[in-house]
Amino acid sequence: MVVQSVDGKSAWPELVGVQGTVAKETIEKENPLVNAVIVLEGTIVTQEIRCNRVRVWVNKDGFVIAAPNFWTVKKVSNCSPVWAGILSGRDIIAPSVCWYIGDGTSVKIWDDPWVPSLPNFRVDGTDQNSCTLTFVSDLICPNSRLWRLDILQNLFYPHEIATILKIRLPAAPAPDKLLWLKTKTGEFSVKSMYRCITQAEPSSSGPVEDNFDWSKFWKIRGISPRVHLFLWRLLHNALALKANISKHTSHTDSTCLFCFSHEETADHLFLHCFVIKQIWFSSPIGLCIDAPDLPYTLAGLFNFWLASSEATEVFKLGCALVWCIWKARNQALFDNIAVQIDEVVKAASSLYIEHSSTTALATRLVSSFASQQSSSNWIHLPLGSIKINVDGATSDCSIAAGIVARNLAGDFLEGHCFFDGEWLGVDGAIEAEARAFLKGLELAQALQTPSLILEGDSQLLVSYLLDDRLKYPWRIRSVILDYRSLIKSFDSIVFRHVPRKANVVAHKLAKFAISSKACTSFQGFPPSCIVSALLADKTSILYD
């Protein structure tokens, strides 16, 4: 009997060498991830084997036949439509799949993607052919749980060694996990997959920049909902601009109504037309556009404003301006009313003030309420407890943490500064906070305190620590695993979120770590940068 393979040819002759249930268990153990279909005498059976390295087949005698690596096998011209579809899906997800290293026993050094900072997440190495090591676990010291630098130096180029050393390993061995990097948690979702597919295909509307911060875009308050939706349509090139209409109808004039010299596209109408340049420059924003071929676009301009917390009001005024420009354009088109630069700027300013005044009032009320709720700097401790405050900080390619331990009376016991000046990755704020909480636990363990209160001002991270059901970012996976291991050594431990006002000491120590760019320890005597904050907390204990 000939068993047909997924590519339409006869089955690969390589045998696993075991039969039946034993073969299934062997393959499941070695290859725990991707489904492979068992074919028996040409018929698809309902049984499945979870298999990552090979596609699995059996002949009538129960022998298991192995195929090449699923991630590298190529599609042939006469393969079935089903297999062609599977490989097409694989090609879409493959650039965004990477292994998280727990113990390294499931990840092959040369075949699998496992280094997030390298192209294609793979290593090249100096000489793969002469290397006898197969799995990433061979590169890890089992006792210290650190990378074996002597082996790395023999196998990899310097830049590869540097990136591998940046992969933080958990203190205790943990299972390796295949990550989907299009989500922060590393979990696969249909929504993120759909986004990958739509970004890979051409669209009839102009695509927005891939890195546009839509999450922050929709969270902005103080904008008319109508204007908010209009800007969303504008950034997707979904307006009835002349250039868009001319694509679908013949004999349509696509000339700009204001300058009569260029095609009316989104970027021209709202940025580069000489009339519009005068509107931007005359507005309170004072944007100077002195050339028709500027490298930035509308999406780039608004994304730049979104990225800066200090430019939120500029963003909102910009939204009002583009809305009023659109209204002026429609009046010129349908009512034959000439555009008046001063009137457009005045209308935009009025619209901005109308919708931002209520938001500003609400912000003041919320701030006032919050200040009343957190009037005390120090939150009291139960008898016999030690309190450790932690805080994270970030700078360019750097993360840092401040850790301060105090007793019931608020006396300083010990403090630590953590600094990593060669940090690689995204979302440094959450990783800095995660490192801060872990360092706080390590300090408490060193102080041998049975009862601990650990405080920080990152509500998100406290939620991750308190609720195991929450999905946390994959980049802090090793930190969370270490935290769960350390927590077992305490008789009593409380994680608590506190406002920034009650966490000033740790915050200042984290800032000191950023400025000094060093890991420092303080025992008995605090550094001068936190003395005043310590005194303020101690004073609040006496007068509370």
Residues 42 and 180 in one domain: no
Candidates 219, 221, 258; CA nearest to 242 is 258
Candidates 428, 443, 348; CA nearest to 388 is 443
Residues 395 and 257 in one domain: no
Residues 530 and 396 in one domain: yes
What pLDDT is recorded for position 38? 35
Residues 190 and 273 in one domain: no
The CATH code of the domain that includes 513 is 3.30.420.10
Residue 114 domain boundaries: 93-197
Residues 184 and 305 in one domain: no
**Partners of 474 in the β-ladder:** none
What is d(CA 416, CA 404) in angstroms, rounded to the nearest whole number? 7
Q: In the sheet where 63-66 sits, what is the strand order? A: 15-19, 63-66, 56-58
Does the residue 79 lie in any domain?
no
Residues 253 and 185 in one domain: no
What pLDDT is recorded for position 68? 54
The CATH code of the domain that includes 52 is 3.30.10.10
**Partners of 66 in the β-ladder:** 56
What is d(CA 342, CA 351) in angstroms, rounded to the nearest whole number? 14
Listed in sequence order, the DSSP H helices in 8-132 are 20-30, 81-93
The terminus-to-terminus CA distance of the chain in angstroms comes to 87
| 115 CB-near residues (< 8 Å, 6+ apart) | 98, 121, 122, 123, 160, 163, 164, 167
Q: Per the structure, how many domains does the chain have?
A: 4
Residues 227 and 176 in one domain: no
What is d(CA 524, CA 509) in angstroms, rounded to the nearest whole number? 15
Does the residue 83 lie in any domain?
no
What pLDDT is recorded for position 221? 86
Helix or strand run (H / E) with residue 17: strand 15-19
Hey, what are 126's tokens? 């100096």
pLDDT in tens, the chain (544 residues): 333 333 333 333 333 333 334 344 444 444 333 333 333 333 333 333 333 333 444 444 444 444 456 777 788 888 888 888 888 888 888 888 999 999 999 999 998 999 988 888 999 888 877 788 999 999 999 999 999 999 999 999 999 998 999 899 999 999 999 999 888 888 888 888 887 777 665 444 444 555 788 888 998 888 888 999 999 999 998 999 998 888 888 778 888 989 888 899 998 999 889 899 889 888 888 777 764 444 568 888 888 888 877 678 889 889 999 999 999 999 999 999 999 998 999 999 888 888 875 455 434 433 443 443 444 456 666 777 899 999 999 887 789 999 999 988 888 999 999 998 877 677 778 889 999 999 999 999 999 888 899 999 888 888 888 888 888 888 899 999 999 899 888 888 888 888 888 899 999 999 999 999 989 999 988 999 999 998 888 877 765 5
Residues 31 and 156 in one domain: no
Rg (CA), the chain: 30
Does the residue 88 lie in any domain?
no
Does the residue 369 lie in any domain?
no
Is 140 within 8 Å of 103 (Cβ atoms)?
yes
Candidates 93, 12, 9, 7; CA nearest to 58 is 12
What pLDDT is recorded for position 314? 85
What pLDDT is recorded for position 29? 41
Does the residue 80 lie in any domain?
no
Does the residue 202 lie in any domain?
no
Is 204 within 8 Å of 117 (Cβ atoms)?
no
Residues 103 and 61 in one domain: no
Q: Cβ atoms within 10 A of the Cβ of 449, count?
A: 22
Owner of token pair 């340049």 = 277
What pTM value is reported for the model? 0.57
What pLDDT is recorded for position 88? 84
What pLDDT is recorded for position 475? 87
What is d(CA 301, CA 318) in angstroms, rounded to the nearest whole number? 10
What is the Cβ-side half-sphere exposure of residue 366, based on CA atoms within 13 angstroms?
A: 6
Does the residue 78 lie in any domain?
no
Final residue before a domain boundary, out of 197, 229, 262: 197
Owner of token pair 């073969």 = 23
Residues 305 and 425 in one domain: no
Residues 397 and 500 in one domain: yes
Maximum Cα–Cα distance across the chain: 89
What is d(CA 385, CA 188) in angstroms, rounded to the nearest whole number? 42
Is 2 within 8 Å of 51 (Cβ atoms)?
no
Does the residue 136 lie in any domain?
yes
Residues 459 and 524 in one domain: yes
- Phi first, then psi: what are they for 163, rounded to 5°? -75, -35
